Every structure is written in structure tokens, then in C-alpha cells.
Structure 1
């Protein structure tokens, strides 16, 4: 079975090499366990689907040539209408592929659930991510520090992200480490990733969110544990504290924002950002209900007065 999957992966890679020669291969150059699993899933699914696609393309070219009207060497059977063998192939092969794809995707969907912690030893590094127009704010609640457009973490250590937005919907995406997930105002999503090796990886938003979207990038840097500890010590020397008032200034629309360090963070800042949007709908409905009640009261008074 393992050899079959390896063959399917090689077939998928060969086809992709021929069709995507000018494209960026970052998704297939994964540097994390999650990204590698997702890459393998893509290649396996492509390989399974090519079992039908490639023969169909070949036969679409071969059949017209072989059975053309000028080819008198082939048997002429104008009354032919049915073949059990053809029916078995036409229906059986796609059915088996669908069953295989469904099984693989079902298992992978649960195994790669972004909310599910990875099977990695050690305490995860907790990072709170806030998307703004058009920059990323990273809060390290266990260390009391924060940054703008810079994410640093130890390689080989699980990352546990809590993600939200202070404005429009975005997606938090580090292509070489794993899949993306939405960042939405008033909501918290979660994502678990890990880097298998040290290096710098591009981070971005995968969801269009306005004219500053194209510059909404950040650097995700995986380092050794010692280098990460030194980096935390360095950030703590920054004289700026990220409280709610400072965050509101940071969150104003800007493009290509430089990296900024905050040596301190207001407790529960992440929750305060989410709470800005909690209850807005309820307050609006209450105001509308009060207005409707007032109108009904005025109508009743007017009717009583006329009588």
C-alpha cells in the first residue's frame, strides 16, 4: 500500500512539474509537519483523480483516430449498443476512486483539524493573533510582550494560535507551515502548527480585505530555543506598552507597516479586542424594540385622543 501511495505522489509531482513550471512551489516546499501532511494529501488526491483523467484524455484522442470513417481495417458494428465489460469499467473504476478519496479525506479532515492539538511533546507556545488594516499584531501572553508584523518562535515546538480580527475578515496563513484559517471580528479561531527546522517563512493574509491587502505580510522566524529566549529578552527592553489605547492607534489603516516591539502588554488585551464586537447586535435589537414600542405608544395615545 505504501508503494502505491509513493507512485501516486510521483505521478502527481510529474504532472504538476509539467503544468506549473512557472509557479511558486512554496506549498510543496513545506517545512512543518502540518504542511507536509497537507501536501501529501493534495498529491494523493491528484494521483487518484489522474487514474480517470489521463485515460479519458488519451481515449478522447485515440478513439476518433482509430474509428474514423476512412479506417477500413476496423470492424464495422453499427448495431452495437451495450457491453457489460465497458459498463463495469466506466462505473466501477470511478466508484472505487470516489470511495478511496472519501476515506482519505474523512481521515485527513479529522487528523488535520486546526483546532486539534498536535501530537508533539512539550508545552505549546501560545500566541494571540489580531488582524488589523493592514498589519498583524502578535501577542505572547505567557511572556507579556507583543510585536507588529514579526512572529518568532522555536523550531520543533508546537504553536497554538488564537486568532481574531479588529476589522474586516482576513485569513492567517503561513504557506510553508500549514493551512490557513479565518480571522473574524468578534470571534476567535484556533490553529496549531509546528516548524520542523529553523528558517524564515513568509506569512500573509489569504483573504482580500481592501486596498492594503497586498502588503499585509509578516515574517515567521523559527529559531533555536536559546535564540528565542534571547529574542524575548530583547523585546522586553522595548519602552512601549501595548494597551487598548495604543492598540486603537496601531489598528488605524496603514500599509507596509514596519516591525514594532512592545515590552509590555495590557492583560486580556486579546479578549478586549473581541469584546468590542460582542453584544452589538443585541444592543441594536433592543434599541429597535424600544423605538417600535414608543411608536405604538404614540399611536395608542393619538387614537385615544381622537375618540
Structure 2
């Protein structure tokens, strides 16, 4: 009679096993060199830990059997308290494992630093002498925006990249922290508002792979999934042509509409995109008449703007909290925002300087060196004559919004 309840439990769990059997082991079966090396690091670390785990599990069973109550032949020593050889084994073995695991992890994590340009495309294929393929990524509520600066197009919840080509992702977020993850290509990296992170990766095999948000970000988090197409160069060019044929312009106003929360958004594309959009998203100045974060920090570094800064404000009536439908408690003065001090010419020059690609510096990784990467410069902190702007603002004693 006991067999029937067990059989019933097994039948009840059968759908779970069937669902798990359909899962793709993308982490353990990657399609890119970075993900392959991360898999090797994972397997090596697991193997080192199993050197301790397996003997412990075996000894638990062995001791339980050896010293069971019914075994009268087992040696009984109630006064035993110390063995030098035993202490040496139980302390030396784990210590050696920790040393090896620490060295392996330290070297591996530095070699696989997401900010570090690739040193190879695969074990047998070096990196060609050409710039990486660049994609700008914005985590929205709750969807992914991909901007292709070289092709001048943008997509929602769909990504395509050429195979055997280094891909450099520049990532940010519109409101809350999120995490960008393509298991078959590279590791996870965070996307945060007001900041820019970088991820380098490569696909060595064509195919369609799953991308997702691996960090909970609210009600529509489960729908933040996208298909990643790894294509040959000719197929990728056709994909770009199809996106351009679809029409549509992604300007600042259209972006503000997309930024509003929405769930399970179907893939869409834009044939044209504002070249300054990503930089403005990073610096939280997509809205008209709103100062960029980097410009504000540069002004503060010069000592502030004095009286001009106290009157150069505009009432804030439409921000991301309003678009998200969230009420903001107001204590004291009503919320406001500072308008930009840059003239249109200064702003255009600032963005033009920042959009110029910097030469890629590849680090010799043999032998491994523990030298950290240089601190990245602020994307909007270059090419602005801030002292002149501040002097003009103080002289006029009032600044009209220009952007």
C-alpha cells in the first residue's frame, strides 16, 4: 500500500521534470569565447570544491555505517581528544583548496573583466585590427532599448550582432538598476541610471539566443526578455536594411513616451535615431530645458554659478516619477529643475567630441598583471569651456533656457 502514495507523488512531479527537460543549458553550452572561458572557470572552481565535498559526503555515510549501534566491532574511545595527523589533514587540505581557488578566481576575473577589450575572438582566432561593434543599451520599464550608433537605427526587445566580431555594449538605465544578461555570450552586468557600464563579448556561432533582465526591477520584470540574433555579416546587413525599411524616428520626445512603464512589449524598430539620445539618457537630460548632469557637475567643480544659478530654474512638472505614475511627497518648495547653461553651439560641440570613437587599448594578458583599468572619463565632461560659460552667466545675471 505504501507504493501507491509514492507513485502518486512521482506522477504529480512529472510535469516539473518535463518542463525542466526543455531548458537550454546556455551557461554550460555557450556560443561565445567569453562565455566559454567563464564556463571553464565555473567548472574548475566547482571541481576544486568537490575535492572536499565528495570525501566529506563519503565519510558521513562511512562513519554512520561504521559506528552504528548494532556494530559491536567498532572501536570505542570516549576519552580521545586529539590527533596531530588528523588535524593536519582537515586544516591543510581546505587551506590548499582555498589558495588554489583564490588564485584561479583572481586571475580569471581579471582576464574576464567586462570593461577590458577582448584579447582574442576564440582560442584559435585573434582579434582583427578594427574597432569593436558598438551597441548602446538602455534598460526601460519594462523593456530593452538597443541603439546602433554606426548604423543609425534602434530596436526594442530585439538585438542582432555579427558573429566573430567583438561587441562593445554601453549600458545605462532610465529609472531603476537592472541587469543585462545574455548567458550564451558573456556574463551579467548592471545597468544603472546616471551611470554608464561597459561589456565586451563575442558570438562564435550563428543562432538565436535568449537575453534577459536578471535583476528584479518591478511589476513587469518577467517580460524583460529579448531574442539575440547572431548573424553572418551579410545576414546582419539584411537585418539592418529591414529595420530601416520599417521607418520611424526615435527622437527625444518619442523616447520619453517609450520610457513610460509598459509590459510584454513586442519587438519594434526605428529607421532613424537622435545621435545624442544615449548621452542624454546617461546624463538625465532628455527633457527639453533640463541641464545635463555632467554639465552641472562641471559647473560645481568651478565653484558654482552664484546668483545666476539661484534664478535659473524651471518648475518641474513632468519627470520620470510622473511618467511612472508615482506620487512624490512635496516638503517645502515645489520641485524644480535647472535649465542648461550651454548654448546650442556648445552643446553640439560637446556631443560631437564625445561621439568620436577612442582608440582601443588591448592589454597583454600573458603573463597576467594585476593592474586595474584606467578610470573612464566622463562622457560629457570634455569639450566645454566652463569658465567662459560661468563668466557669461554671472555677467548677464540671468540665463535663458537654450536647450
Matched, 1:75 2:75: yes
Unmatched 5+ residue regions in structure 1?
1-19, 293-307
Report the equivalent of 2:157. Answer: 149
**Structure 1 residues 21 and 239: alpha-carbon distance in aligned structure 2, compared to 1, 3 A threshold:** closer
Report the equivalent of 1:36. Answer: 36
2: CA distance, partners of 1:57 / 1:22: 31
Matched, 1:175 2:183: yes
Report the equivalent of 1:112. Answer: 112
2: CA distance, partners of 1:75 / 1:211: 61
TM-score (norm 2): 0.63
Bigger proportion of residues as helix: 1
Report the equivalent of 1:250. Answer: 258
Matched, 1:270 2:278: yes
2: CA distance, partners of 1:52 / 1:181: 31
Matched, 1:203 2:211: yes
- Give the alignment of 1:118-197 within 5 angstroms: 118-119=118-119, 120-121=127-128, 122-197=130-205
Q: What does the per-residue CA deviation read over 1:200-234, in whole Å, with 9 as the maximum and x for residues that have no partner?
A: 01111001111111011111100001111122222
Secondary structure of 1:231's match? helix
Structure scoring higher RCO (CA < 8 A, sep ≥ 6) equals 1
- Of residues 22-31 and 99-108 in structure 1, the stretch that sits farther from structure 2 once superposed is 22-31
1: CA distance, partners of 2:237 / 2:97: 49
The CA deviation at 1:138 is 0.5
Q: How many residues align?
A: 268
Matched, 1:47 2:71: no
TM-score (norm 1): 0.81
The CA deviation at 1:134 is 0.8
Q: What does the per-residue CA deviation read over 1:171-214, in whole Å, with 9 as the maximum and x for residues that have no partner?
A: 11111112111111111000011111000011110011111110
Secondary structure of 1:74's match? coil
Report the equivalent of 1:15. Answer: none
**Structure 1 residues 276 and 76: alpha-carbon distance in aligned structure 2, compared to 1, 3 A threshold:** closer
1: CA distance, partners of 2:247 / 2:111: 43
- Of residues 117-126 and 165-174 in structure 1, the stretch that sits farther from structure 2 once superposed is 117-126
